Amino acid sequence: GAVLAKQAGGNFALALLLTVGCNTLGVVTAPVLLNFFAEAGDVEFPLGTLIWKLALTVFAPLVCGKLAQEIKFGELEVKKVVAKNNKTITMISNGLLCMIPWMRVSNTVMEGTFARASMADMLVVFVWTAFVHVLFLIMNFCGTRLLGMEEELQKAVVMVGSSKTLPMALSVLTFLPEETGDTGLMGIPCIIAHLGQIVMDGFVASYWKEHSSSGHTSNTQTEVSSFTEMNASAVSNVNDKTPSEPMYEKTAGPNQA
């Protein structure tokens, strides 16, 4: 979400803050919502255990990473090492994130539950999750417009607030009790929804950046500055080529005596 918000020209700092904040709140809100629906279906749900396990897998690594940035190991600073190897660390992080759905799908195939999901079912899941995602985009866009937010902040809120995180969803499914159902089969809709929203948000981010008012303003300012520089250069060339006028002293003519 934060990367797509940056691609759309949004405020990356706010997008990153929203991503971290929403994931942190999800440690509590996701189990509470699941417990509500579980009670409606007469399913025993370990609310406290799930919150504790999610806190260890989601919240604890965040706190450890933040503390590591502030601690100095002699002359070695974690913050400087991360900044120096930012590209490599990002690639490793993305690779590990890609392995999460791969392991889930592989486990589902090995258990034989993947064959229970037909192509028609997957198509229905994709259409429904795409509809929900578009609905979230519209709601967040209208809400930020009504609040009068700046365009950069609006892009960050819309792109991040409308997306769902796959690692968080799969973490919740991992800690669910067995009586709730086949967690491997339940992970397939999460993966389909995540891939669908990435594709849709990619088009939305590119379109929004090209047609944003800030983009047009920056292009106009660039054109005006280029035109001004061209005129200044032309005037300078003319002045360099124009000879200075000689100064003549008035002298009395032959008839002026």
More confident residue, 168 or 241: 168
Grouping H, G, I as helix, E, B as strand and the rest as coil, residue 122 is: helix
State yes or no: pLDDT of 53 exceeds 90: no
pLDDT in tens, 7-49: 888 888 888 888 888 888 888 888 888 877 776 556 677 788 8
What does the pLDDT read at residue 131? 93
CA distance 151 to 10: 7
Mean pLDDT of the region 184-207: 84
pLDDT at 127: 92
The pTM of the whole model exceeds 0.85: no
pLDDT surpassing 80 at residue 99? no
Is the pLDDT confidence value at 135 over 90? yes
**How far apart, in whole angstroms, are the C-alpha atoms of residue 243 and residue 182?**
90
| pLDDT value of residue 221 | 44
Residues 6+ apart with CB under 8 A from 45: 34, 35, 38, 39, 177, 180
Q: Which range scores top for mean pLDDT: 113-117, 148-152, 183-187? A: 148-152
CA distances (Å), origin 253, targets 245, 246, 247, 248: 22, 19, 18, 14
The whole-angstrom distance between residue 49's C-alpha and the CA centroid of its chain comes to: 31
Mean residue pLDDT across the chain: 74
Which residue would you say has higher pLDDT here, 227 or 40?
40
Residue 76 is predicted with a pLDDT of 67
The tokens describing 197, both together, are 């929203």
Length of the chain: 257
Residue 73 reports pLDDT greater than 50: yes
Exposed/middle/buried for residue 52 (C-beta within 10 Å: 0-12, 13-18, 19+) = middle
